[in-house]
Amino acid sequence: MLSKNQQKLIRQLSQKKYRQQSGLFVAEGEKVVYELLDSGWRADQIYTTVPLQKTRHTLVDPSVIKKISHLSSSPPIIGVFHLPKYVNISTSHGFSLALDSIADPGNLGTIIRLCDWFGIKNLFCSPNTVDCFNPKVVQSTIGSIARVQCHYVDLLSLIEQCDGKVYAATLYGSSHYQESFPSHGLLVMGSESHGISDKLLEKIENRITIPSHSVGRGAESLNVASATAILLSEIYRP
């Protein structure tokens, strides 16, 4: 059985300050937990309702899992993992992606999955972007968090130091269909509601947009994760 203090600690990991204090985060569900284990991430504890073959774990009653789960429907396995320490942060190889003020955990999780799909190893986030180790973000990555490094940095400094071509996704840029993307560069995506901040836009000359083909009144904009998928697909088109 888990003590009340242990249960309280795990529940507190839904908050960023407790993740930072403890150096731990929560991953829920077999897919996410196994992806992290297979990628060499260090588990503090694995709690499960059924015996496992591949890792040290603690068997608990389903009622306990329900108490410590951050999801509306609790899974049979929950892992508490140590936060990683990333080194060798660089935009000098291939294409990188930067996110300015992304607030929705589901959007960030989907974007991390997109980075994994397109082979982008480093994702750069503004400090006010939702924490990638938020339980909802981790869950929505469906394991891709194991292979994509999320760095929270000053995007202004990142853009100024980037030695490749920098692109800003905006509503009023040139069509992405007309752009010949290089093999090395940086794509900046803005928040769901306000786009890229003015201070960053001032530093980015190359502004691109996904043109709308709707007639009359149509959608005002695309979901940031959807827009990211379209632009990355174009960037990596052979």
H helices, E strands: number in the chain: 9, 10
20 pLDDT exceeds 90? yes
Q: What is the pLDDT of residue 217?
A: 56
96 pLDDT exceeds 80? yes
Among residues 182, 174, 207, 224, the alpha carbon closest in space to that of 91 is found at 182
Residues 6+ apart with CB under 8 A from 149: 84, 86, 89, 121, 122, 123
Query: Using 50, 70 and 90 to split pLDDT, how confident is the model at 163?
Result: confident
Q: What is the pLDDT of residue 222?
A: 84
23 pLDDT exceeds 80? yes
Handedness of CA 85, 91, 94, 95 (dihedral sign): positive
13 pLDDT exceeds 90? yes
User: How many C-beta neighbours within 10 Å does residue 44 have?
Assistant: 12
166 and 204 Cβ atoms separated by less than 8 Å: yes
Q: What is the pLDDT of residue 216?
A: 57
Q: What is the pLDDT of residues 202-226, one digit of tens each?
A: 999 999 999 887 655 556 678 999 9
229 pLDDT exceeds 80? yes
The size of the chain, in residues, is: 238
Q: What is the pLDDT of residue 92?
A: 61
Q: Provide mean pLDDT across the span 156-163.
A: 92
3 state SS of 152: strand
Q: What is the pLDDT of residue 232?
A: 96
Query: Using 50, 70 and 90 to split pLDDT, how confident is the model at 45?
Result: very high
Q: Provide mean pLDDT across the span 82-108.
A: 87
Q: What is the pLDDT of residue 47?
A: 95
